[in-house]
Amino acid sequence: MTRNRYWTLADGPLPRWPQADTFVLREEEAPTVGAGQALTRTIYVSLDPYQWYYHRERTAPAGAPCHARTVSQVIESRTDGLAAGDFVFNTNGWTEYALMGEGVWRPGYMVPRKLAPSLGRISHAVGVLGMLGLTAYAGMDLMASPKANETVVISAASGGVGQIAGQLAKLRRARVVGIAGRDAKCQFVTEELDFDACVSHLSPSLPADLAAACPAGIDVYFENVGGKVFEAVLPLFNQAARMTICGLIAHYGDEDGGVQRRAALMKLGQPIFNARGMTVKSLSASDFAAGHHDEMLAYVAPLVAAGKIKYREDIRQGLDIIPTSFVEMLRGNNFGKMLVQVSPDPTLGQT
């Protein structure tokens, strides 16, 4: 029988922010395939900040694999439309093998889809050609709709969503300013992604730096962080500015995962939102998945293939390092979209 290793949450109270020992590695036999199901081998595990909220809420049953979106390959299939060897986007979680199909559901479960490697790297299915691409497309193009010469600010600009959102705004001929961390990230944002400017949230003069980078004020803000970054942005909003709240990374360690902080952010900003006639919307990519994913894919995939949208991945190797990689990602120590590759990717000729 095939053995399956996976990571689950340790018993007992969880810390505000995870440590490596917050997770426990377990092993058991791989699940048996039932009628209408397929067994898949995980290739790439996507590590994203929102997952910590899922973990802290213990949305998965005790002892179950930690939630994550994944790219996998079908090992055995008893369902129509899938055959052994096919590649799929699914939500296996932090595990080597998992079932998909009839009767399979997990917290955060998303409808699996078959992947076409001809459209791009299969790892992109959990990134620029997947939910991250849809998040950026929905939040920037569909919700904020920047116009030519408007100033657009992107927080977490070198991250998985931020780098895509900023480039989409550039394609609309907006002036794009990123907010990132260390110097190498800011350099990547301006030199590789072609943002017009980038400031560091690590700078003690962040508010002044941002004001200098946005002399005409801010028309669109794509919020990924919260905290002091939002406070630096707030005074710079122009009349009729638009703000898309995608995430609040700085607050996922709060007791409630940032729910109260989101309300506090809205309360803090409300006087300016009202006075300047702003539109402020919270973004949930799942609201756009059914109606706009194919639309996003048709638009973004050719741009990626042509090099007009560049996309950086930070791929770590091995199931064993998922917890430490997850901790590093939440601390901002990744550079690009964080993935862990847990088995060979046949599309890259690996053995």
The C-alpha angle with vertex 128 and arms to 337 and 47, in degrees rounded to 5, equals 35
pLDDT at 110: 79
With 0-12 CB in 10 A as exposed, 13-18 as middle and 19+ as buried, what is 331? exposed
pLDDT tops 60 at residue 121: yes
Average pLDDT, whole number, for the chain? 92
Tell me the pLDDT band of 219, cut-offs 50, 70 and 90. very high
pLDDT tops 80 at residue 255: no
- Point out the least confidently predicted range of 35-49, 54-68, 232-246: 54-68
Interatomic CA distance for residues 324 and 293, integer angstroms: 31
Contacts of 305 (CB under 8 A, 6+ apart): 119, 120
As a whole number, mean pLDDT of residues 10-18 equals 89
pLDDT tops 90 at residue 204: yes
pLDDT tens, position by position, 74-117: 999 999 999 999 999 999 999 999 999 998 888 777 788 999 99
Closest to 65 in 3D by CA, of 109, 16, 131, 114:
109
pLDDT tops 80 at residue 256: no
Contact 164, 174 (CB under 8 A): no
How many CB atoms are closer than 10 A to CB 187?
A: 13
Here the tokens at position 199 are 């400031």
pLDDT tens, position by position, 68-84: 999 999 999 999 999 99
Contact 342, 96 (CB under 8 A): yes
Here the tokens at position 56 are 């802290």
pLDDT at 64: 92
Calculate the alpha carbon distances from 167 to 194, 272, 349 in Å. 8, 27, 30
Tell me the pLDDT band of 140, cut-offs 50, 70 and 90. very high
pLDDT tens, position by position, 3-12: 999 999 999 8
Confirm whether pTM is higher than 0.95: no
As a whole number, mean pLDDT of residues 196-202 equals 97
How many CB atoms are closer than 10 A to CB 221?
A: 27
pLDDT at 252: 59
> Domains plus CATH for the chain?
3-126+312-348 (3.90.180.10), 131-286 (3.40.50.720)
Closest to 161 in 3D by CA, of 126, 190, 194:
126
pLDDT tops 60 at residue 254: no
Considering Cα of 301, then 223, then 338, then 56, what sign does the dihedral take? negative
User: What is the distance between the terminal CA atoms of the chain, rounded to a whole angstrom?
Assistant: 22
Contact 300, 162 (CB under 8 A): no
pLDDT tops 70 at residue 300: yes
With 0-12 CB in 10 A as exposed, 13-18 as middle and 19+ as buried, what is 108? middle
Contacts of 268 (CB under 8 A, 6+ apart): 230, 231, 234
